[in-house]
Amino acid sequence: MDYIVNIKNGIKNYDNFLALKNINLSIKKGEFVAIIGSSGAGKSTLLRSINAMNPLTSGNMIFDGEDISKLSGGKLRKVRREIGMIFQHYNLIERLSVMQNVLHGRLGYMSDFKGFFELYSEQDKAKAFNILKRLGLDEHCYKKASELSGGQKQRVGISRALAQNPKLILADEPIASLDPKSSEIVMDTLKNICLEDNITCIVNLHQVEFAKAYATRIIGMKKGVVVFDDSPEKLTEEMISEIYGKNI
């Protein structure tokens, strides 16, 4: 089986608090996985452990066949450039143009010197422009990121992730700050590019209905444990109550 992520006995401790309790998960290439669960269940911790932004305390994190648990420096940087990240609050540099923000997705492929002075190649610029065109943002290309709506900013976030040529996209609550219509546009965009480019996606979602509508697989977390892992059709009302407890 062709897996992009394998987590073996994944444990995360914050001081004395056990946020992830012995996680064992395998994600196949091409899956579109939604992680759901109450606030504090460990969704962000799990997602951010995958690219070692917030590394596991113990256990193995295998990305595309390579155990990245012990990697650091240049080797980790090389792995990370293949993992795009999308954030709830977009993480754009607001005073910079849309184009410059998307070009930041190319930094992992540049030398420190070229990266520091942002000396992008013509090829990188053409790539960034083509991505923006594909996502219907080309007319905003030279605007400052601050001038865009939330939904547009998130599509710039997706564009920046795409500029990395990612094998995997991790999206941490990508629609939590958006209205329902913009949420739909952002989720449609994310789902379509992942399907078209054969990118695996793992997305944390608060909204169960979006998880059911878009995911090929849903993982339910509760108190640092995976309590549900199956197809969206199998997610019954009883199971939703079990995952969210009294919080729903």
Ligand X SMILES: Nc1ncnc2c1ncn2[C@@H]1O[C@H](COP(=O)(O)OP(=O)(O)OP(=O)(O)O)[C@@H](O)[C@H]1O
Which residues lie near ligand X (CB under 6 A)? 14, 17, 19, 37, 39-45
CB of 14 to ligand X, least distance (A): 3
Distance CA 144, CA 117 (A): 19
Q: Which is nearer to ligand X, 21 or 78 (CB)?
A: 21
**Which residue carries 């401790």 as its tokens?**
13
Q: Which is nearer to ligand X, 141 or 240 (CB)?
A: 240
* CA-to-CA dists, residue 228 to 16, 34, 35, 162, 242, angstroms: 26, 11, 10, 30, 9
Q: Which is nearer to ligand X, 45 or 159 (CB)?
A: 45
CB of 67 to ligand X, least distance (A): 23
CB of 37 to ligand X, least distance (A): 5
CB of 202 to ligand X, least distance (A): 13
Residue 232 corresponds to which amino acid? P
Q: Which is nearer to ligand X, 43 or 81 (CB)?
A: 43
Q: Which is nearer to ligand X, 88 or 152 (CB)?
A: 88
CB of 54 to ligand X, least distance (A): 8
The arrangement of strands across the sheet holding 217-222 comes to 83-87, 168-172, 200-204, 32-37, 217-222, 225-230
Q: Which is nearer to ligand X, 40 or 108 (CB)?
A: 40
Cβ contacts of 145-150, under 8 Å, gap ≥ 24: 145/90, 145/92, 145/93, 145/94, 145/95, 145/96, 145/97, 145/98, 145/101, 146/94, 146/95, 148/98, 149/182, 150/90, 150/177, 150/178, 150/179, 150/182
Radius of gyration in angstroms for the set of CA atoms belonging to the chain, rounded to a whole number = 18
